[in-house]
Structure 1
């Protein structure tokens, strides 16, 4: 196993708009992040993944960039950024920026020029198509609703946008465009940042023949994903990016890759491939998706979750590397999705899912607020939501597919705004996030669930995360040990071993509110054991051959052979 600092790190994602507001305008900002670096240092994290802070008209909350080399006014200035970077580095924390180069904003100078005329030098920075019948070139549907093609009257052609019509896709077939991207990456790396999380990076290579997509029952548009996910030149483009930019710096890189398979993951992250360090796959977060995706969720089984994690753990065991995450800015809150956010079980289940994730092989990611056990929010009114995906889904699906109550059940369980309510810092008005009016309402449970209370309480989720991070730094087996699933068919217990040489850990997690019996498999043998961490009081001397688990209990043992 090749050792690397980014394999040994724990990463904390900050969604700046919702993290901490320093100037009372209701929007989180860079100075607000700088204020909280000592808090993150106490938690023990190594890297901050910073969601976009670039200039943007905010059609998709910063993922529509109008200037890659400047800071959004609402977030502050480049000087503010430099101060934050310096303070983070002073605390031993690295900064990983979001790289959004599948698309830009339609307000970027490149696109403004591109749409002026067909012979403009910037025309080929984007993907333009003409049709004889005035119909879109393909039937593909966009991620945020509608067609992926937008007709532009100025030149009587369509441009491609896989997301919002204000997010035109960049044309990676154009080497001049690619060089612009590489120059921009060097700009930030030379400034001192430590790497990139790459937004939907496996979408940048499209099938240039643009075939029609399959239209599934109940859908108006075709599914074009197989023609732009993991496209024909994707590995060539990433290897070029690595050669031109990444290989010249000591970076951390992770690619967000919807639709990526384990086999593709090996290619993207292989030690000998010169592409990326790790990828985000989406298999587990898609569990329970119904006919209309996440908007009509269905129950899922623990065996399905275990099968997905096991496939990726074993698949990338030799030569690749996993990203480990329960939640991010696009996913619901971890406890609400994977644990139990009731008052009775929130803390215990929050610690349990943290144990399960942080003890697997890969680099763990903590999403802001996860470390204090923040939960989903249940706004009653659609006007309280801000996310373009949520608002469009409500508009489109309530008109002809789902009832108001059904879509609201999906929104309450899966909307991206669950992750985007402000971080709950204390019990003061607006959870200490802002002195003004927050851009999105604070979750009403902030008086009980907040960072100040969690830091003061030695038995809180915060202190449990802190302990998990310390254990990772002290035990090489947690980083580099092999993963082997035990009790594979059990629908309540997620258990596995981690093994490195003579060092072995046994991880036992109860994902249910029942009291199932754990039975030690015959092939796991030991002469002595040590309880390394547990989320409930456990008797160190209790035999582990067979014992009952309390609801959402988690234990980790070191086994001596």
Structure 2
């Protein structure tokens, strides 16, 4: 471990998806004034940092991740004055704000791309990645993250441009120093406004392999897997070190990179404690363990996650980054389904217990924890959404390619998988109350509400001392109060137990013991705990030694 703890190592981050958090105008879309109106709630929860998903000007082909102006606020969310008011109010509440930085690609409506595609000899042509056709086809076999090819032919100039996501998101050419300089200047202007850091979208993809070679195509698939073809490219660390020198060293910022396709070796560079690149990365191995074994289907499946594999994966990252780099801890985000429905049990009998259990396991690990809006309430997947309700381009493209074109799944099969894994599960509006539209808006919500909002909402949680909300509040306080949660070494117990996750956090003079039952069964387990262990927190009212009831989770603290 680093000898001096950084503020972001003890912090807890709350992720806000602005479109779905709180509407202040009645137009059905969450906005900045809505966020500001809920700062007291976030302060009561106890979090330290608010990460805002993109609030920039965007045509919203990918809900704000297709940015047309990095320095203008999307009018749907408000104005720059509204943002500055939110930033000041958040700081007055003792809360920091981290912005989403999306610089692997822009919108095709960004002024840079409009110039770039205007002609082959435009000065900004090389701001993006253009290639001639090969034998009348796309330049290589790369696939998009959102199904289909990663290249789009531009009829006017006869060349293809690269888009690793939707066609309206052309990839920037980071090999061009002018592009990097534009990005750094933009970042510096946001820092000058007083923001506290950046979450960097798909930052592991910014450096493309030399020559853009074909990648391996999995059996049954049409295109090469993007991560295998592109992630962790030859110059990505060079670019991030340059960004550190040009931008990030100017302030005491928090930086986290979404590192699609990252492995342990690369993570040790991205998030090295020497501070040369980023503070931490998001890696996704643990939320890909339940993917379909058919690579053509990718994430689309509804199989349960094997606990033994989950423990092995989380333990690998805990052990191998210890003292070298820093972990990000998360169960879900705007791209993942609701965790209580995926890894827990969202039935009325077990939803609260299993939500608390999952929170306990995650928040006692080493790293910086992230809470996605509504996670602290135990919000569930939205099985009431049907094909006419979905907004997410990933879901709509999956139906287009997997059902309509390739006939790999029926619409009903995919709908079942979408109800389990689809991104719109996380994007339904925040459930504030049992009143009309869950207190989210006085108008028509941009995305259909989860039907269970009258039972699961903030008002209900705040009025119940045994709610999921107060359990999260207690976990956050433990992280703030107990240094060992930040510094202790991790040790997994019984790695082959497919029902219980038990681990220790070990310091020089004290330790933590965490045990969690991932099943709806009562099981017996006995561990060699040090004497005089004190129960710090449990999701049951009493402690039965040796017995773990359904989804029971306990944290013990002991002195050596």
Shorter-chain TM-score range: over 0.9
1:373 corresponds to 2:378: yes
1:473 corresponds to 2:480: yes
Question: Any conservation in 2 of the 1:214–1:224 contact (CA below 8 Å)?
Answer: no
Give the Å deviation of 1:527.
2.5
1:506 corresponds to 2:505: no
SS of equivalent to 1:531: strand
Q: Distance in 2 between matches of 1:300 and 1:11?
A: 25
Count how many residue pairs are aligned between Structure 1 and Structure 2: 553
Within 5 Å, give how 1:350-429 maps onto structure 2. Answer: 350-379=355-384, 381-399=386-404, 400-429=407-436
Instruction: Give the one of 153, 156, 179 matched to 1:154.
Output: 156
Give the Å deviation of 1:273.
5.2
Question: Any conservation in 1 of the 2:214–2:229 contact (CA below 8 Å)?
Answer: no
Question: Any conservation in 1 of the 2:304–2:343 contact (CA below 8 Å)?
Answer: no
Instruction: Give the one of 186, 190, 193 matched to 1:191.
Output: 193
Instruction: Give the one of 334, 342, 348 matched to 1:337.
Output: 342
Q: Distance in 2 between matches of 1:435 and 1:225?
A: 42
Q: 1:173 is matched with which residue?
A: 175
SS of equivalent to 1:384: coil
Q: 2:71 is matched with which residue?
A: 69
Q: 2:279 is matched with which residue?
A: 277
Q: 1:556 is matched with which residue?
A: 555
Name which of structure 1's ranges 219-228 and 129-138 shifts more when overlaid on structure 2.
Answer: 219-228
Give the Å deviation of 1:139.
1.2
Q: 1:325 is matched with which residue?
A: 330
Give the Å deviation of 1:485.
0.5
Q: Distance in 1 between matches of 2:403 and 2:510?
A: 55
Name which of structure 1's ranges 205-214 and 336-345 shifts more when overlaid on structure 2.
Answer: 205-214
Give the Å deviation of 1:224.
4.2
Q: Distance in 1 between matches of 2:181 and 2:252?
A: 20
SS of equivalent to 2:10: coil
Q: Distance in 1 between matches of 2:555 and 2:116?
A: 57
SS of equivalent to 1:159: strand
Q: 2:450 is matched with which residue?
A: 443
Q: 2:540 is matched with which residue?
A: 536
Cα deviation, 1:501-558, whole Å, max 9, x if unaligned, reads 111110011111111212204xx5x22111100010123xx5x5xx110000001111
Question: Any conservation in 2 of the 1:43–1:466 contact (CA below 8 Å)?
Answer: yes
Instruction: Give the one of 78, 81, 86 matched to 2:80.
Output: 78
Shift of the 38–155 alpha-carbon distance from structure 1 to 2, 3 Å rule, reads: same
Give the Å deviation of 1:208.
2.2
Cα deviation, 1:113-149, whole Å, max 9, x if unaligned, reads 0001111111111000013532100011111122111
Question: Any conservation in 2 of the 1:204–1:234 contact (CA below 8 Å)?
Answer: yes
Instruction: Give the one of 263, 266, 281 matched to 2:265.
Output: 263
Instruction: Give the one of 301, 309, 326 matched to 1:304.
Output: 309
SS of equivalent to 1:389: helix
Question: Any conservation in 2 of the 1:267–1:273 contact (CA below 8 Å)?
Answer: no
Question: Any conservation in 2 of the 1:263–1:315 contact (CA below 8 Å)?
Answer: no
Q: Distance in 2 between matches of 1:344 and 1:447?
A: 17
Q: Distance in 2 between matches of 1:532 and 1:296?
A: 37
Q: 1:434 is matched with which residue?
A: 441
Question: Any conservation in 2 of the 1:162–1:168 contact (CA below 8 Å)?
Answer: yes
SS of equivalent to 1:407: helix
Give the Å deviation of 1:397.
1.1
Q: 1:27 is matched with which residue?
A: 29
Q: Distance in 1 between matches of 2:254 and 2:129?
A: 30
Give the Å deviation of 1:380.
5.1
Question: Any conservation in 2 of the 1:138–1:211 contact (CA below 8 Å)?
Answer: yes
Within 5 Å, give how 1:119-134 maps onto structure 2. Answer: 119-131=121-133, 133-134=135-136
Name which of structure 1's ranges 506-515 and 372-381 shifts more when overlaid on structure 2.
Answer: 372-381
SS of equivalent to 1:350: helix
Gaps of 5+ in 2: none
Question: Any conservation in 1 of the 2:148–2:401 contact (CA below 8 Å)?
Answer: no
Name which of structure 1's ranges 220-229 and 346-355 shifts more when overlaid on structure 2.
Answer: 220-229
SS of equivalent to 2:76: helix
Question: Any conservation in 2 of the 1:379–1:385 contact (CA below 8 Å)?
Answer: no
Cα deviation, 1:156-181, whole Å, max 9, x if unaligned, reads 11100000000000000000110000
Q: 1:15 is matched with which residue?
A: 17
CA RMSD in angstroms, aligned pairs only: 1.1
The two structures have a TM-score, normalised by structure 2, of: 0.97
Shift of the 191–90 alpha-carbon distance from structure 1 to 2, 3 Å rule, reads: same
Question: Any conservation in 1 of the 2:217–2:224 contact (CA below 8 Å)?
Answer: yes
Moved over 6 A (4+): none
1:230 corresponds to 2:232: yes
Q: 1:494 is matched with which residue?
A: 501
Q: Distance in 2 between matches of 1:355 and 1:224?
A: 34
SS of equivalent to 1:445: coil
Q: 2:42 is matched with which residue?
A: 40
Give the Å deviation of 1:213.
2.0
Cα deviation, 1:225-267, whole Å, max 9, x if unaligned, reads 3331000001000000001100111000000011111111111
Q: Distance in 2 between matches of 1:504 and 1:272?
A: 27
Q: Distance in 2 between matches of 1:517 and 1:200?
A: 43
Question: Any conservation in 1 of the 2:301–2:421 contact (CA below 8 Å)?
Answer: no
